[in-house]
Structure 1
């Protein structure tokens, strides 16, 4: 039974999520943060995607935010970036999302993202001081990124393209199976390709001024980011066989490196970057305030962003109590609409359910911060949902007020609307399997 005093405090602190006055209050709470990280408690909940997009639009229109950086692979997001900037050949947002083909395709190929991308293209086409970009932070696209580096160099310096092919040829015997590469190198059956991948990144960085002459503003930068991704993905796939903590840390460190590269590029052009980050709560809720950091020695994007840009970072988490979710039973299995069990007794979700329906809380000071400072169970659903083992598969001990600055609670939520029938979900046999994901929580 929840302490009635705690419930009374939280009910007084909650702010509704509807109405212009409440939008103004939310923007006031965000203040002058340059990095607003907006999480989600699952990768398959419609309301999380819609609310995140709504807040992002507010930040772009009223706070001058210049970029959206998502938990997505760089080359896939690059196609969306070109579309929202009025470039490329895609005519619709659905077309622009067409490179999101590997599992879990619904995570980005969904109606909520398509609607936001359509809005962002229209926004950029208007009278804006600076068009907003869309970028990917993740590193599962090792082979596609290597191919993109070679393709870029083939256009600007065929001899440099030849060198890149030779360096990346170190990976060839493993085909499109980076797990096999990681296993072979970690067990001494193959010499790691780290040096070759690093050399390619260094060459692109060293020759930036020379190679970028005659190209668009983005082309060299995108090639360099693909080379960075290939170097870090090589480390990631080897780390997978050393332990879950190592691979998780490589992945989230890559995300913050990519974020830093976006900031450095803007500053080099004399501009101030203000970035909205879209990712799962497990990546954005500060790892130091959960079992991730305290017990497993893991870091995450939220923690690293706070450490790198103290005073400029604001983290928003999202939560739900029950409803439905789009998820799979296992990796590469078809997506389903699954029933989300009500939050466990004693969990953060159960507490927030008693407080109310749709609202947000400021966890930095005051009664809400005190009420949510204690350790409690919090649910995380990735792209896989296993309700039969929910306690062990999806709940983690956290201190919510340490993880997030603001927390949105949407009590009853619905499954994300995919752009196509997920029975057609691409699998490793159909495409290139760019790697099994980390599993904090299951499938995330």
Structure 2
């Protein structure tokens, strides 16, 4: 044992020294002070189905937008669906009458990630905030999955506003048509035959990037169309890479997210500031986890490397126990599931044992000292979850290197989805809209 390790306080004492209260909006003041000077703030979540993660991210984002002029929120969601929300919150023509109806259009599984009442509350607030502002705060999607939806959006755009590009867009459509909108079928075919649609989608992207057609009903229509073309290029590569296995598809996806974030920053001007919502596995620096040993990177790491750690702030989230929305298999019915108490050896377990209460931890205050930079399990729940296999849901993490700050909740509730089986549940929950 080294002299320094002998002298340092036990982990429970380090956690108690760092903990700040987390009960109401004003408790965010020290965190907001840390985040405000950044150009990019990334807000995580330990699961895609926990209400409190969405509510606290919304509260943080609201203050950054209201008090410090942040320009947009970009989320781990499909570009076409999120762009419809962007049109709604900016009151563009024919953008919808209510956030609920706009968000119900999220029909790709898992629908609950963005079609939920927590998001309805945030979108309605954002629309009200933007009224009367020359350039309101936007809402965009960073993800790469929407191959077919992006193609549909491009064809709709060029048919209305750029008919000279329609023939090329239809050639791309015809190339993909034999696969019946089945990405895996397309990927398997290209692997077997070495024939793909890559050249066609790249030609379409280059044409749209150079033409810049005029859009009469959408001030961002050219940017939307070009971004859909970027999605198509990377989605086509992603699905071909996915069938090969290994870290390639993960890295391609997070690289696409980073490229999209950079385009959004450029789109909003030289002094722009953006907020990202994504799972901890995307926003927490991969170099502080076992992902680095697998050859994987993520958007949090890429942003720190490209923009510098002073201009990027990464905020992780976690909880000890609660309930969560997830499916037992990919594409299966959404369920409200119990989230058991976290493993004792995990970060969540250690904080529970030391504090037993919600807390905010400003990790950049730890420097390189103490056990907070030592690896320990950190729970990560995806859209597929089975509580009986809970022990496999922990990522070895150097907490104070992975994040700049960490929000911990002792007990959490399940998200409130819009897409439900019975009409009785279709009305807003009793506590809606939380915090707004």
Cα distance, 1:321 vs structure 2: 0.6
Q: Which residue of 1 aligns with 2:233?
A: 231
The whole-number CA distance in structure 2 between the counterparts of 1:182 and 1:225 is 22
Once the two structures are superposed, what CA deviation does each residue of 1:262-282 show, in whole Å capped at 9, x if it has no partner?
111122xxx521111000001
- 2:71 touches 2:268 (CA, 8 Å); kept in 1? no
SS at match of 2:313: strand
Cα distance, 1:298 vs structure 2: 0.6
The whole-number CA distance in structure 1 between the counterparts of 2:291 and 2:367 is 26
Q: TM-score, normalised by structure 1?
A: 0.89
After superposition, the Cα gap between the structure-2 partners of 1:341 and 1:225, relative to the gap in structure 1 and judged at 3 Å, is same
After superposition, the Cα gap between the structure-2 partners of 1:417 and 1:214, relative to the gap in structure 1 and judged at 3 Å, is closer
Q: Which residues of 2 match residues 18-57 of structure 1 at below 5 A?
A: 18-19=23-24, 21-57=26-62
Q: Which residue of 2 aligns with 1:254?
A: 256
Q: Which residue of 2 aligns with 1:113?
A: 119
Cα distance, 1:350 vs structure 2: 0.3
- 2:104 touches 2:418 (CA, 8 Å); kept in 1? no
What RMSD in Å do the two structures reach over aligned CA positions?
Answer: 1.9
Cα distance, 1:377 vs structure 2: 1.0
SS at match of 1:97: helix
After superposition, the Cα gap between the structure-2 partners of 1:102 and 1:215, relative to the gap in structure 1 and judged at 3 Å, is closer
Q: Which residues of 2 match residues 77-116 of structure 1 at below 5 A?
A: 77-87=82-92, 88-116=94-122
After superposition, the Cα gap between the structure-2 partners of 1:229 and 1:368, relative to the gap in structure 1 and judged at 3 Å, is same
- 1:256 touches 1:301 (CA, 8 Å); kept in 2? yes
The whole-number CA distance in structure 1 between the counterparts of 2:143 and 2:54 is 18
Q: Which residues of 2 match residues 25-424 of structure 1 at below 5 A?
A: 25-87=30-92, 88-125=94-131, 127-128=132-133, 130-187=135-192, 189-208=193-212, 211-212=213-214, 216-267=218-269, 272-293=271-292, 295-310=293-308, 311-356=310-355, 357-366=357-366, 370-392=370-392, 394-421=393-420
Cα distance, 1:258 vs structure 2: 0.7
After superposition, the Cα gap between the structure-2 partners of 1:141 and 1:162, relative to the gap in structure 1 and judged at 3 Å, is same
After superposition, the Cα gap between the structure-2 partners of 1:297 and 1:25, relative to the gap in structure 1 and judged at 3 Å, is same
SS at match of 2:151: helix
- 2:84 touches 2:95 (CA, 8 Å); kept in 1? no
Q: Select between 163-172 and 216-225 the one with higher mean Cα deviation.
A: 163-172
What number of residue pairs does the alignment pair up?
413
After superposition, the Cα gap between the structure-2 partners of 1:367 and 1:164, relative to the gap in structure 1 and judged at 3 Å, is closer
- 1:168 touches 1:197 (CA, 8 Å); kept in 2? no
Q: TM-score, normalised by structure 2?
A: 0.91
Q: Which residue of 1 aligns with 2:429?
A: none
- 1:106 touches 1:422 (CA, 8 Å); kept in 2? no
Q: Where do 5+ consecutive residues of structure 2 fail to align?
A: 1-7, 424-436
The whole-number CA distance in structure 2 between the counterparts of 1:112 and 1:369 is 38
Cα distance, 1:98 vs structure 2: 2.5
Q: Where do 5+ consecutive residues of structure 1 fail to align?
A: 425-444
Q: Which residue of 1 aligns with 2:5?
A: none
